[in-house]
Amino acid sequence: MIHGVNLSLQFKEQCICKNFSFDVRVGESVCLSAPSGKGKTSILKMIMGIITPKGGEIFINDMGLNSQNILAIRDLFSWLPQNVNLPINSIDELIELLLLDLDDIRYFNSYLEELEISEEVKLHNFSELSGGEKQRIILAACISKQKPILLLDEPASSLDDHSIDLLFKLLNKLKNKTILSTSHNQKWIDNCDRILTL
């Protein structure tokens, strides 16, 4: 489903990857692993077509990523950037910002319940929420957009072990989703089907 072939990326003198090839198959949950600053986010940004590799190609569903099909390809993804700081005060504003439609909202509410976000917490101002509550809410919204591929950059940075278990219980029910994530959290990594080392 996501296929990188001989990818090379360099920022000035810094080599991020050279002839890096990988495959993420349909329905798999793969964690991209590397020490901090080695280029995990940069790989996700290449897959989203935000930065262009110096060499190599990316295929999504056998379609080569290029400037003509980039919007169609991006439409297959739900992307959770790292340390997202959203300009919102409430869950309603989150729904508006992410353009969730009625079906998405139905899923969103059921996922919030599965991730143990109570009705009371839902009424809090977003700035008052704990880091873990905020992350669970944003993840629920991200998953509720009915996209086949989830790109999750450090989704577990504020989650405790219990929340990670809840999240994987939910993700494991959504067998059709293909998930590529980055994480330094061992529990998250252990729950993924496979580790991809950069």
Ligand X SMILES: Nc1ncnc2c1ncn2[C@@H]1O[C@H](COP(=O)(O)OP(=O)(O)OP(=O)(O)O)[C@@H](O)[C@H]1O
Contact between 183 and ligand X per CB under 6 A: no
Contact between 11 and ligand X per CB under 6 A: yes
Out of 15, 21, 25, 37, which residue is the one contacting ligand X (CB under 6 A)?
37
Q: Which of residues 122-141 bind ligand X (CB under 6 A)?
A: none
> Judged by CB, which is closer to ligand X: 27, or 81?
81
> Judged by CB, which is closer to ligand X: 91, or 159?
159
Contact between 155 and ligand X per CB under 6 A: no
Contact between 36 and ligand X per CB under 6 A: yes
Out of 4, 22, 30, 40, which residue is the one contacting ligand X (CB under 6 A)?
40
Q: How many residues bind ligand X (CB under 6 A)?
A: 12
Q: Which of residues 76-95 bind ligand X (CB under 6 A)?
A: 82
Contact between 101 and ligand X per CB under 6 A: no
Contact between 185 and ligand X per CB under 6 A: no
| DSSP codes joined into one string, the chain | -EEEEEEEEEETTEEEEEEEEEEE-TT-EEEEE--TTSSHHHHHHHHTTSS--SEEEEEETTEEP-TTTHHHHHTTEEEE-TT---S-SSHHHHHHHTT--HHHHHHHHHHHHHTT--HHHHTS-GGGS-HHHHHHHHHHHHHHS--SEEEEESTTTT--HHHHHHHHHHHHH-TT-EEEEE---HHHHHHSSEEEE-
**Site residues, ligand X (CB under 6 A):** 11, 14, 16, 34, 36-42, 82
